[in-house]
Amino acid sequence: MNQSQVSASVLSRCDVERLIAEENALIVIMDQMVLRLDGWLKYHPGGSKPIQHMVGRDATDEITSLHSPKTCRQMKRYQIGRVQGYWENLIPPIQGCVYPIASESVNTSSKPKVTIPCARGAANTTFRPPDSPTSRHTEGTRFLDFLTREEINLDLTEYPLVDKSTQMEITCKYRLLHEEIRRSGLYQCNYTAYAWEAMRCALLVSLTWLFMNLEVYWISAAFLGLFWSQLVFIAHDAGHMGITHNFTIDTLIAMIIAAPIGGLSMGWWKRSHNVHHIVTNSPEHDPDNQHLPLFAVNHRFLGNLFSTYHERWMRFGRIAKFWIPYQAKMYYLVLAFGRFNLYAQSWLFLIRGQGPRKGAAWWHRLFEIFGVIIFCLWYGYGLVYKSIPGNWNRITFVMVSHMVNMPLHVQFTLSHFAMSAMDLGQDESFAQKMLRTTMDIDCPEWLDFFHGGLQFQAVHHLFPRIPRHNLRSTQKFVQQFCRETGIPYALYGFVDGNKKVLGCLSAVSRQAAILAECQRTVAADQQSSVS
């Protein structure tokens, strides 16, 4: 069958469901085209899970926001047909749907089945959770379900209706906004701004070297940490192809910054960050808010949840029960050690070989392993061990150079921790979901270098490939879009944003205390009834 015949072939909803059910096909809808992405799964530089979360869905906005026009055109090679009219999204298998056709040939009597709401018109589906280490139906289930309903009702009150017509209108306006921003030239990188970035980084390196020679090691370490922070902003831009818009060149820039200079893996970042952009703030799916036992950013973490990213149960166990009551007070202290967690995640990713080993990114793992070795040599051996006398000075240097990155890790969490983590269903548009789960931080323009563009996270989530030096200009377009659609635009000052996050963490701590009291009361009642 030639391409014209494929393009003319109309697939029904039942056809798509059958392919997903019988052949485990990764079917994604883009611009009315039905794409089968099984063959691309092992080659995708951003990992397999972003694709899996789009199965059965119209992913037009997600794909076009995260990929260049060239990549979107290349996706046509995977087209197997087209759909007509409005596509009502299915729930992807990775998020719990099991289609009846697929389950008929498998004996699943040993697995519990729970009916879940599916998109209107979809086949009847069931959800089979993996075997839980403990029963999910605990004494606190009703309490947690009550909190979930309360948060969903609050979102439904504050945001536009999640019905087909309303969300279609928002999607149409978002796509018009996308074209307007493109015509305005905001996708074009401001290379003069990057010249200033280069000079700033050169100054920080010079100050690191100067105070190292003056033997004022803690000041030298502070400037090295600030240098790393500034490089993270550049790596973030490059990771989203926001500098040259060329996949190979931007990826090289990002990996050089991350591995030999910073000791981190850009491949790991892409694998987790792309999922974050697709299922932002979802407790079960978004790795960026799965921080048990150190943080529970939503009440749903107080019950056992299965992480589809880590493919394991997140238990609210003894450590979490002890720690979570103090999470708001320990927030900044924990984030001061955030870079050490990035090392661990990066090195585990490289050791396990979790990135693509075929296609355009086959060599990335080898490059990053070599880069991390270089980092260990220049930083660990050459700088810390050979250039700094005395173990106390060495420990001080390591800790200061890493802990000075704490404001950067606060910035990472600030835009999402206090925002909604609820799922409003398959009809919600990409644009509304991004604005509902993300906040922007207001700051004077002269402080943009300190925040590195991460203060415009809501704008960035709508248009991830826009270079960060253009995000302030893009913000004006987004604010107008929010006024026209009635979507609240969350904008807080840096201090108020911190207060909101701490308030959210404190609220979850109180909910954990109430849940524990409920469980103790029920247990005591059961014991007394038995006796």
Angle at 27 between CA 26 and CA 28, to 5 degrees: 115
What is the full DSSP assignment across 444-489? -GGGHHHHTTGGGHHHHHHSTTS-GGGHHHHHHHHHHHHHHHT---
| Residue 139: alpha-carbon gap to chain centroid | 31
Q: Which of 83, 81, 113, 78 is nearest to 99 (CA)?
A: 113
Q: Residue 16 is which amino acid? A: V
Q: What are phi and psi of 3, to 5 degrees?
A: -65, -35
pLDDT in tens, the chain (531 residues): 555 656 668 999 999 999 998 888 999 999 999 999 998 888 888 889 999 999 999 999 999 999 999 889 989 999 999 999 889 999 999 998 777 654 443 343 333 333 333 333 333 333 445 555 554 445 567 888 899 999 999 999 999 999 999 999 999 999 999 999 999 999 999 999 999 999 999 999 999 999 999 999 999 999 999 999 999 999 999 999 999 999 999 999 999 999 999 999 999 999 999 999 999 999 999 999 999 999 999 999 998 899 999 999 999 999 999 999 999 999 999 999 999 999 999 999 999 999 888 888 899 999 999 999 999 999 999 999 999 999 999 999 999 999 999 999 998 899 999 999 999 988 999 999 999 999 999 999 999 999 999 999 999 999 999 999 999 999 999 999 999 999 999 999 999 999 999 999 999 999 999 988 877 776 676 666 665
Hey, what domains does the chain have and what are their CATH numbers?
1-102 (3.10.120.10), 167-485 (no CATH)
Residue 522 tokens, joined: 């029920």
| Contact status, residue 410 vs residue 452, Cβ threshold 8 Å | no
Q: Which of 496, 483, 484 is nearest to 439 (CA)?
A: 496
| Contact status, residue 485 vs residue 160, Cβ threshold 8 Å | yes
Torsion angle of the four alpha carbons 501, 506, 512, 518, in this order, in degrees rounded to the nearest 10? -130
Rounded-to-integer distance, Cα 48 and Cα 59, Å = 15
Residue 325 tokens, joined: 């009551």
Q: What is the largest CA-CA distance in the chain?
A: 78
Rounded-to-integer distance, Cα 213 and Cα 46, Å = 42
Give the SS3 label for residue 363: coil
Angle at 459 between CA 454 and CA 461, to 5 degrees: 80
Residue 25 tokens, joined: 């096909």
Residue 191 neighbours by CB under 8 Å, 6+ apart: none
Rounded-to-integer distance, Cα 423 and Cα 402, Å = 36
Answering whether pTM is above 0.85, one says yes
C-alpha pair distances (Å), 424 with each of 8, 118, 156, 428, 519: 34, 12, 8, 7, 29
Residue 352 tokens, joined: 């396990």
| Contact status, residue 220 vs residue 384, Cβ threshold 8 Å | no
